[in-house]
Amino acid sequence: MKHGYLSIEKHGFYGAYYPNPKECRKAVILMLGDKIDDNMVKTGAKWLHRQGCNVLTMAPETNDYAFHDYKIEYFERAIRFLRKQNNEKFGICGASTTGMAALAAASLIPDLTLTIALSPSDFIMEGFYRDGLDGARERPDNGESSLSYRGKGLTYLPYAYRHPEYWQKIEEETKRKGQMIASRDMFDRSEELCPVTEEMKIKVENSKGKLVFIGAEDDCLWDTCKYIRRMVERLEEKPHSCGYEALLYEHGTHFVFPQSMLEIMLPLLSAPLLRFTFKEFREFPNECKATRIDIDNKLKRIIAEW
């Protein structure tokens, strides 16, 4: 698939541009995981191509998926780049941590008129590293936000634990719950120790165009449905000009991707391989697939209407 790499030094942000083989004038900034060109990201780009979009993938410029002090200005520069490629509409899509980043960006950048957030939080997270310090797969940063804007870190919810206890607690929960990874108890404990304040919350009411929140009740990384309901409540209480849809499901896990996207990624093996990830895929395979199919149909309709 044709693409071009973009660097912070030359372009002001790190990413890869995947133009649609067919002529189109709308572009989606896509953030999936920690890469700009791995199989998952390319699959997402192909899926968005089929929905009539150009795609710009973005990620932190690191080798260890550190996510701290990621600058919202990168998105502003990315939009300027996309405009030079003759795009006229600009959207953003993120999953998990980058779902949070997508919502934060949309609340600050009015050019973003479609925001798709899969398994997001409604607050800014503390920054984290994956540099293997003391054998820990992941550790919190010490006093640094995951996101910054105009040279200032955004106010964040501190994690309940510090290094090395942080990763020890995640490992304990993962083993206890029989998951690929689990951290929901830690996030619940973080809110118990430090309730989310107004300063930490993402100001979703400032977004333009359309917001799409997607989450499942059985998410074992954090209680994304609770976070989504709080954002819906916020929108119902505060003046706003954006439209929104909240797609909430009982089953689907943290991995709430459209079914046809998975079929591009794993044409024949998607169902068997998914059962080796989250426990709910093994226990409720039909329900999880029904969730993905519904997400697929609704996202296709939303993007077509955009």
The total of structural domains in the chain comes to 1
pTM above 0.75, yes or no: yes
Q: Is residue 176 part of a domain?
A: no
Which tens digits make up the pLDDT trace of 141-170?
788 999 999 999 999 999 999 999 999 999
Which tens digits make up the pLDDT trace of 106-133?
999 999 999 999 999 999 999 999 888 8
Q: What span, in angstroms and rounded, lies between the C-alpha atoms of 185 and 221? A: 8
Q: What span, in angstroms and rounded, lies between the C-alpha atoms of 219 and 294? A: 17
* CATH code, domain carrying 146: 3.40.50.1820
Q: Is residue 173 part of a domain?
A: no
Rounded percentage of the chain residues whose pLDDT exceeds 90:
83
Q: Is residue 34 part of a domain?
A: yes
Which tens digits make up the pLDDT trace of 68-95?
999 999 999 999 999 999 999 999 999 9
Q: Is residue 164 part of a domain?
A: no
Q: Is residue 77 part of a domain?
A: yes
Mean pLDDT of 4-33: 95
Q: Is residue 165 part of a domain?
A: no
User: Domain range for residue 59?
Assistant: 4-157+200-305
Q: Is residue 162 part of a domain?
A: no
Q: Is residue 46 part of a domain?
A: yes
